[in-house]
Amino acid sequence: MFSVTRSSLSLGAINRSATHVVKRWRSQKSIEVTLRANVQGLGKPAGRMRNQLYPMRLANYIDKKFQMINEAKLADQNAAENAQERSKIYQQTAKKEQKLLHLHGLRHTLEALPPLVFPRAVNEVVPGSKTIFGSVQAEDVVKELKSKYGITADKITVPGSKIKTIGESWARIELGDLGHVQLKIVVERK
């Protein structure tokens, strides 16, 4: 194959045979190939694909129809992945909204409750003592809410981790994003 340099083309000093070669070179169709191995200097010598790369199984010819089918499959996979991602985000959002609605209802219910009353025995050894036997703990409040009202609340704290005397006190019930609710606790003489 003849080679024509850029300088000879730009000077207009191209003879008839060189013009014919350039036209033939421009009219030849280019082919696309996929390499199966790393090949240095690919495409410089003429016929390298047909004579060397393809017989040695270093490259394959690309089938345009096969390439379009692969691109369509890839587009379908991307669309399916996007749809799954949108579905996952929608489900997460729906769960958050459902949890938020539940917490709003729980808050309303807890605020409407009367004080929880816990009868306890008082230490009678010391006259006028308000100290009780069997303190009231957060677990007791959880059990009382579950048994009397059917309310399940797990994040409850009482002052000082235990209530040890007769009287009124407050339990704090955490409601996540909605903050907390104070619930009145009354410990009375048994």
Q: Provide the pLDDT for residue 41.
A: 67
Instruction: Taking residues 154-177, report their average pLDDT.
Output: 89
CA distances from 13 to 1, 10, 16, 115, 171 (A): 19, 8, 10, 107, 100
Instruction: Taking residues 7-15, report their average pLDDT.
Output: 40
Identify the residue with better confidence: 106 or 19.
106
Share of the chain above pLDDT 70, in %: 75
- Show the tokens assigned to 120: 């306890």
User: Half-sphere exposure of residue 114, counting CA atoms within 13 Å on the CB side?
Assistant: 3
CATH (residue range 113-189): 3.10.430.100
Give the pLDDT band (50/70/90) at residue 20. Answer: very low
Single-letter amino acid code for the residue at 72: A
Residue 87 confidence (pLDDT) above 90: yes
The chain-wide mean pLDDT, for the chain, equals: 79
Identify the residue with better confidence: 42 or 1.
42
